[in-house]
Every structure is written in C-alpha cells, then in structure tokens.
Structure 1
Amino acid sequence: MTDTPATSFVPADELGAFCAALLQQGGLGAEHARTTADVFVWAARRGIDSHGIARVPAYLELLAKGIANAAPDLRFTSTTPAAAVLDADRAPGPVALSAAADEAVRRARGTGIASVGVRGTVHTGAIGYYVSRIAEQGLVGLGFVAGMPNMGYTGVKGAAVATSPLAVAVPARDHAPLLLDMATATVALGRIKQARANGTPLPPGAAATADGTPTTDPELAVMPLPLGGAKGSGMSLAFEVLTSVLVGAPIFAAFHSDDPQGRRHRQNALLIAVDPAAFGSADAFVADVDATLGTLKGLPVADGADGVYYPGERSAALAEQRGASGIPVAPKVRRELTESAARLGVEVPTALR
C-alpha cells in the first residue's frame, strides 16, 4: 500500500515569489512576471483554484509557443478623457488588464466614470482581481471579457459563443467589498475535466456533446451549456459586442468564418471604473453599502442554510485564512510546478519539496 501524496501549504509571499521566478525564467520581464504571479496568488488565496497557481505551467507553455508575447508593446490610445483602448500586443492577461484597471481609475478620478477596452490579450485570468483592484482605490469596478467560442448557444448546433465572464466589485467601509465574479456558463470547462478524471456524472443541463446534445456523461461532454439557457448565451454575445467589437477586434465573426486566423487564440476585455464621489458623497456611499450588506446578513436564515452571504464574502474570509495558514497546493500542481522549476533552474520553496 502506498501513501497518498499530501497537499502542501505554502506562505502566499513565498508562493508568489516562486511563481514570479518561474514566469521570469519563462521569458517575462521581472515586473510583468510579478504582476502575473500576483493575480494567480490572489485567486489561489480566495479558493479560485482553476485560475490560481495551477495556471503557471499553462502560461509557461503559452510563452514558449509564442502565443503570449513575453515583451509586449502596451499602447493606450484615446480620443476622449473618459475612455481609452489598450492594444495589448498579445500580453498575458494579468499584465494587460492590471494596466487597464489602473488607467481606468486614473481617468475616472477626473471624469467620474471611465472605461478602458483591452484588445488582443491572452487569457485574462480571474477578472475579479482587476475589478477588486479598482475597488481598493474606493471606486466601483466592472469588467467584461470575451474569448474563443467554447460554449453552446441556445438553438445552435455545436460550440458557438465563449464562456465570457463578468465581474463587479463595490467598496465598503466595515465589510469586505462586494465581489460578483461569474461566467456565463453553467459549469466551467475545468469542472468537466475534473468530472471526467473522477468518473462522476455532471449535473443535468450543464454540459453537451460536440453537436450540442446535453449529456451528464463526462466522457462525452466537450463543452459547457450557457447559464440559464438563452439568458447566458445572450449575455455572452452581448459581452462580445461590448468588448471585441467595440475595440475593433471581433472574435465571434472571425471564429465562424473561413479565415484560419479566426481561430488564433486571443481575448478582449472592457473595464469600467465609477467614482462614487461624482454622484454625491463617497463616504455616504460606502456607509450605505455597509448598511445594505448588513441588512442582507440580518435577514432570517432559511432552513438548511448555514448563513446569509453576499457575493465575495466567503472568498474574502478564505483569503484571510489562507493568508495565515498558507495556500494549499495539490500534489498534481506541486509536481507540475517543481518539474517546471527543474527545467528552468528555479529554486523550489522548502514547503513544496
């Protein structure tokens, strides 16, 4: 009988430095490597493991294949103070969207509300990070992303639209910020893969075969179905228009055309920052947000529920917990990270050895 490999618990700062070193050896500059690692560690602390440090090997592959540009020329263009477009030049998503979030905040300070479209990035990562980055500055953050079609659309045979996510972050004073971060799919692609590996059935209406036939068999499932049917697929299409089409880089139409370049991996995004001070008192706003969240949490708890929670509350609590106890790294992820470290000549933290 062999022992099952144990999960490692690694301090967030050590894990971040390790991931940054891997990414830098993989080709990114020091600043961009650190920025990308910060996004992964943020997601891992909050329990968003599908977008956490497990993504590092995939990003190293994107860099090695030239799909992601290790030295992008990020350029902002603008014709009005309240809006800009960032040409990401195939930069990793964390690099491009972090820059876009900061630019949106800077502009919103003067205009009250500002938006930055991101054109031609590569895998945006956890978009909750970028709107949270905006909320940390006392502004409301909204984000939309469009990517390669990999999800069904109501009435269409086969994959039609992307599992395009949206995120909203609202600052508060005494509570953790409200953070809504969701995809337009019923389940993530990662969950389908996990069910396949575990041999467990998928929930009804969550996934489909290649021709769009719903299935609960993970061996037959190749794509998720939209959340709420026509509602989820309609939202995904709307996000394609609000991001890709808006910045002059359509994905959907090109993907379904005869042009082979239409299926080249890329993503687009739109980040919006709203300054509460432009609508009245910023202090009164966060106080009222606190009152709203407090009222919600004071409502009667339904039978069988363990409490009343607002979006982002539990993940913020988990981030505090993992900040104190360390971030769990599953055996498979640990193996992939240490193998990457051996190949790139990066020292592995003691907790991962």
Structure 2
Amino acid sequence: MPDIECYTFKSEYLQHFIEEVFKHYGVPEADAQLASDVLITSDLRGIDSHGVARLHTYFGLLKAGRINPKPKIKILREKASVATVDGDNGLGLVIGPKANAIAMEKAEKVGSGWVSVCHTNHFGIAGYYPLQALKRDLIGWAMTNTTKIVAPLWGMERMLGTNPIAIAFPGLKEPPIVIDLATSVAAFGKVEIAKREQKTMPRGWCINDRGLETIYADEMIEGGALLPLGTDRERGGHKGYALSAMVDILSAVLSGANWGPFAPPFTLQQSMPERSVGKGIGHFFGAMQIDGFIEVDEFKRQIDDWIQTFRQTKAAPGTSGTIIPGDPERKAEQIRGEQGIPLLQPVIIDLLDISRQSGIPFKLNKAN
C-alpha cells in the first residue's frame, strides 16, 4: 500500500464514521452514539491509544461474532448502594456507561453507589466515566481489568492487565481534577504508538521474553511484558503491582468476571486463555455525593484553593512547573476541538480497511 499523508480530522467527522461502523454491525443507534462518544472523547483529550485507533479491533470482534451488538444488561445482585451487573458480552463502550449510570443514580438516592460488572469488554478510557459524574456534581470512580500484558513484580510472564484507575473531583472556578492512570508503567497503547512511529521506548517500561529489559516495542509485543508502575522493587514496583491487584479484584473477582491471566483477549490475534474462571472482563464504578461529607460549594472552593496552591509550586529545573491532573488532556481537548484530531498513517490505513470491508465512506479530504 502506498504511503498516506497524515491527516487531521474534525471530531464530528470521525465520530459519525465510528457511529456508522457500529450500526453497520448491528449495534442499535443509541448505543452506537454512546460508544462513539467514548472513543472520540479519548481522541479529543489526546489519549490516542484508546480512541479511533481502537476501532479496527472492535470492528474485527463484532464481525467475528465475539461481541454481542445487542446485549440485554441485567442486575444480578443489588442492595441500596451496590450492585453487580452482567453485560451480556456487549461492547464495553456501551456496558460501561450504562453501569456507571446505575452507580450515579444510586449515589443520588442514598449517598454513594458502587457497581461491579462482569461479562463485558474493553470500555475505552477510564477517565470518561468520572467525567460523567462531574456533570452531576458527584465524585466519580472507574476501573477495569484488562487482557494480561503486565508481569507482576519479580515475574517474567504476563499475568495482569494494565488495569487503570480513574477518579475526578469538581472545582468551583477552577477546572476539575481528573486522575486517569494505568497501574503499569505505561499503557499498552503507548507501546503500539512507539511501534507505529518506529521509535524506541524509555527504559523501565518493558521486558522481553527472556525477562530482560528492552526498549524495542517488537520485543515486548512478541512475548515480552509491561512492568508494573514503579518498574522494580527499589523504585516502587511493588506499589504498582498492589494497585493492579486491587483493580483486578474489585473489577473481576467481586463481579464474577475472569481475573488475572484468565481475562479474555481484546484482539483476534491473541489466543484465548487455557481456562475461564468467570465471564468476560470486569469493570468497577463508584460515585459519591459530596454533600454527605461537606457542603458542595465549600468542597469546590477547597479544590480551587488546592489547585491554585499546587500551581504555585517552585518549578524543578528544566520543567515548566507542576501540572494538575487533567491539565494535559484539557489542553489537548481545547486544541483538538478547534484544529481537529491528527491521525497517524497506520490508523488511517486501518480506517480505510474498515471502509473497504463495510462500504461506509471514509474520505481523505482536507475539508474533514
């Protein structure tokens, strides 16, 4: 295939394409809109690894019948503030927002809501979900286990996922604090980006299939593993490992999903685990009413003060100074909302392939 120039696309154009692809493979219109919103939010916020770059994988799984396009979500167990939801093997991009909504509704009724989810699939960026809680003046939480790609501390094989955690706190005049992080040193999507851009990775991210540190994406992908946040014992790798274990247990053991190395793969190229200990992968959502702890406006004023205080931190040499969690994503959202979303050549090739197979137009057009 000839080289293709990288293009910048308006978010509305990409979101419409995503929505049409999901609808083409049987996802109902309202669910397709929801799923496209999750993906385009990732791209707008500069998290290129979890946006439209993931569409080809969802497309492949739907086409192969590995994801149910019309799931019937059901609550398996429930009390006033907690519930377990079965996602009926639906798109995580649909199951996640609906389960998160249950958590938020419970929070508004009884002060807090906590929902574990089984029988679901990859749910996009974890940060999407607490952003929805902010719209209701709630503190929101989200986490999920994922396909094994991370070695536990002092291990040399894949046993855990990147298992992200997200939480958000609303400000009054300041923008919200939005924390969204993988419990591995880096998200696997960043390894994929390094491969696409033919760049090496920082030391301490990965090991190869012999358990040795590597800076080459191909060596990690072909039998290696990511490392837990902190990398090794001396730099706090035990803490990243423990956080990943926490996410795995809350998301999967608590819900009845597959935990640890038994989580099903997110791509068709990956082999299924040798056994199943549950259903699908798992998510965990939480929402808390602020006024059960403190007056809402007082909390927001304190968040503003917290942000302003930390912004005044003396800058370390060679840096522009302390950032607040969520700052880079907000900046990206402003720029990309105005200028469009840039896509690398391999992502464009994937989208053109989806277009060819589905018949849904995708045009390389400067007007996009």
TM-score (norm: length of structure 2): 0.88
> CA, structure 1 residues 351+57, in 2 after alignment: closer, same or farther (shift >3 Å)?
farther
1:259 deviates by 7.6
> CA, structure 1 residues 261+29, in 2 after alignment: closer, same or farther (shift >3 Å)?
farther
1:145 deviates by 1.0
Contact 1:68–1:91 (8 Å) recurs in 2:
yes
Aligned equivalents of 1:265, 1:280: Cα separation in 2? 39
Aligned equivalents of 2:249, 2:157: Cα separation in 1? 21
User: 1:88-129: per-residue Cα shift (whole Å, max 9, x none)?
Assistant: 011111101100111111110111111011111111211110
In structure 2, the residue corresponding to 1:85 is in which secondary structure? Answer: strand
> CA, structure 1 residues 331+213, in 2 after alignment: closer, same or farther (shift >3 Å)?
closer
Letter of the 1:183 counterpart:
A
Does residue 237 (structure 1) correspond to residue 233 (structure 2)? The answer is no
Which residue of the partner structure matches residue 100 of structure 1?
99
Q: How does 1:1-353 map to 2 (within 5 A)?
A: 5-196=4-195, 198-221=197-220, 222-228=224-230, 229-252=237-260, 254=262, 260-262=274-276, 266-348=280-362, 350-351=365-366
Aligned equivalents of 2:76, 2:183: Cα separation in 1? 30
Aligned equivalents of 1:338, 1:220: Cα separation in 2? 28
Aligned equivalents of 1:215, 1:208: Cα separation in 2? 5
Higher mean alpha-carbon deviation, 211-220 vs 114-123, is at: 211-220
Aligned equivalents of 2:91, 2:149: Cα separation in 1? 20
Which structure 2 segments of 5+ residues have no match?
Answer: 231-236, 265-271
Cα root mean square deviation, aligned: 2.4
TM-score (norm: length of structure 1): 0.91
Letter of the 1:310 counterpart:
I
Letter of the 2:64 counterpart:
K
1:300 deviates by 2.3
1:39 deviates by 0.7
Q: How many residues align?
A: 350
Which residue of the partner structure matches residue 269 of structure 2?
none
Higher mean alpha-carbon deviation, 83-92 vs 147-156, is at: 147-156
Letter of the 1:307 counterpart:
G
User: 1:227-273: per-residue Cα shift (whole Å, max 9, x none)?
Assistant: 112211121112111121111234227569x9834299932011000
Aligned equivalents of 1:351, 1:55: Cα separation in 2? 23
1:75 deviates by 1.0
In structure 1, the residue corresponding to 2:276 is in which secondary structure? Answer: helix
Percent sequence identity over aligned pairs: 25
Aligned equivalents of 1:308, 1:204: Cα separation in 2? 23
Contact 1:118–1:269 (8 Å) recurs in 2:
yes
Which structure 1 segments of 5+ residues have no match?
Answer: none
Aligned equivalents of 2:5, 2:262: Cα separation in 1? 45
